[in-house]
A and B are shown apart, each in its own frame.
Chain A
Amino acid sequence: GESVGLHLPTLSVQEGDNSIINCAYSNSASDYFIWYKQESGKGPQFIIDIRSNMDKRQGQRVTVLLNKTVKHLSLQIAATQPGDSAVYFCAENRAGGTSYGKLTFGQGTILTVHP
């Protein structure tokens, strides 16, 4: 069913710490996952993606981990900076065998980085 919650999960960290943002997905047929960052008043920006045939992928200061057994995705940000403060969304491609590339977005997590 649709979530009607108005309070997003939040994560508060100190500058320089590592951050871990978690996401659970429900469709075992999903074959592609992506993380977006959304700063206040802006559209979502791509961070990193991963296909279901992988369990880890690294980018610049970010790592995405995929655990298909428990349908869990996480985003790790190393040496978090104040500029990383934003809402982070995970999304999955639930289309499975189709090629339409539709993404289904999670609720989002607010990351606040304190100097």
Chain B
Amino acid sequence: NAGVTQTPKFRVLKTGQSMTLLCAQDMNHEYMYWYRQDPGMGLRLIHYSVGEGTTAKGEVPDGYNVSRLKKQNFLLGLESAAPSQTSVYFCASSHLGRDLNSYEQYFGPGTRLTVT
């Protein structure tokens, strides 16, 4: 199993450009998440999904959109990139936590995004 994969690994955007980050998981997990990580700070939840076709806002959703058209994929979109969105983005997935007595999330390797 590849686990959680993210593409691309690095990207540089100009202010106002758009892009989509792709996350894929092969563990048949129901839940998927997008986080951003800034220097000196922990992970902050942007959006999450509890199943195919469903999405919900996390702690810092402004400026981002997401889609979960297939269970194994979770896309994060930036419609008009801003320098404040320079960050490292992590995708994660998990099983239905309560049923399995664990909320462990499995993380991808991250995407480093710079907006100039």
Contact = CB atoms under 8 A, between A and B. Distances in A.
Interface residues of A, number: 29
B31 A100 contact: yes
Nearest to A48: B104
Interface string B23-46: 000000001010100011111110
B97 interface: yes
A56 B89 CA distance: 32
Interface residues of B, number: 33
A58 B102 CA distance: 16
A101 B98 contact: yes
Given A34-B103, A43-B90, A43-B110, A7 B96 contact: no
7 contacts: A5-B40, A5-B41, A42-B109, A43-B90, A43-B110, A49-B104, A104-B45
